[in-house]
Amino acid sequence: MGRVVVMSTGGTIASRWQGSGYVAEANGHDVLARAAVPEGIVTEVVDLFSVNSSRLTTAHQLTLMRAVHAALADPDVDGIVVTHGTDTLEESAFLLDLHHDDPRPVVFTGAQRPLEAADGDAAGNLHDALLTAASVRDLGVLVAFDGVVHAARGTVKMHTLAPRAFDDPSGSHVGEVGFGGVCIRRRPDRPEPLPLPPADVTAPRVDMIMHHCDADPLLLKAAVAAGAQGIVVVGTGAGNTTPDIAEAVAEAVASGVVVALTTRVPEGPVAEIYGGGGAVDLAAAGAVLTGTLRAGQARTAVLAALLASDTPSARVTTLRRLLHLPSTIPS
């Protein structure tokens, strides 16, 4: 069916018992050895790193992105599979999707059970990811997990331990894998891909601030003082905070910081409904509403906009494009 490059980055799918807990240490060949490789698929393994994905940095993600682009420079490669920890898989997959400009797919997968677990899910997930990578085109970056194929955009980890770990709480999945084939039900709506960041780029600081009862602007102001170039405010409800926080957002935006607004609620969009520190005031203060993107992927969108542009206004314009928003705020 085709040639698929498997890039190993660690995570539970590469984890073994270390006396007091599981730690990612297995290489890509060890991981792939657990898979039932679909007939006709030839694999090639690239070991990038092996870390628990909670430890990933932007530097790791950029290394992965460049490795994917380098592999796809070979016209004989039919697709890429990335084995990745589930904790931050949604962030890495979305960042790559925002920069993916090739019809051949990049398919992320992982496992909820350690590599050598008797009830492990690595073999099935790897099989499905390999089959998807060799079968589909023009879908961008995907996530194959527990028999379901998801678009990178909007897909988040929904359960800490269950085998069906991922879903898009505000949308539908892309397809399913079964009976030796991949059934595609929809094509993801993707913005024009961004160019690959320069090799010598310095990753900007992007922080997330969660709103809660008794929240004040302290942490938001601390993030600005620490040098954050981007901040994601995780509001309550449809994207609400307090007047003091809205004022701090306006100050941050005035100083050149890109501020985005999402919500801690699992489903539904951020919306300009409430004043009194709600999304109406936050949008007026300069925060960009991120629609249905949740915190991790909202941060990823801000990060991508910062990497792609070098002025606050250009960064906001880029961010709005990535979010399928008009390039300028309606008057």
Q: What residue type is assigned to position 253 of the chain?
A: V
Instruction: Give the residue from 73, 198, 95 showing the smallest Cα distance to 82.
Output: 95
1 burial (CB, 10 Å; 0-12 / 13-18 / 19+) is: middle
12 is catalytic: yes
Q: How far apart are CA 308 and CA 109, in angstroms?
A: 27
- Annotated catalytic residue, options 9, 12, 109, 317: 12
Assign 145 to helix, strand or coil. strand
**Phi, psi for residue 203 in degrees, rounded to 5:** -65, 125
- Write out the E strands in the chain: 2-10, 15-17, 22-24, 41-51, 79-83, 106-109, 141-145, 148-151, 156-157, 166-167, 175-178, 181-184, 206-210, 230-235, 258-263, 288-289
Asked if residues 36 and 127 have their Cβ atoms less than 8 Å apart, the reply is: yes
Instruction: Give the residue from 257, 263, 293, 265 showing the smallest Cα distance to 278.
Output: 263
Q: Output DSSP code: residue 240.
A: B
- Annotated catalytic residue, options 58, 83, 86, 290: 86
CA distances from 225 to 207, 261, 282 (A): 12, 19, 20
Q: Which residues have C-beta within 8 Å of that of residue 180, sequence separation ≥ 6? A: 38, 131
Q: How far apart are CA 125 and CA 220, in angstroms?
A: 39
Relative to beta strand 148-151, strand 175-178 is: antiparallel
Assign 243 to helix, strand or coil. helix
Q: Which token pair is 57?
A: 């940095």
Catalytic residues: 12, 86
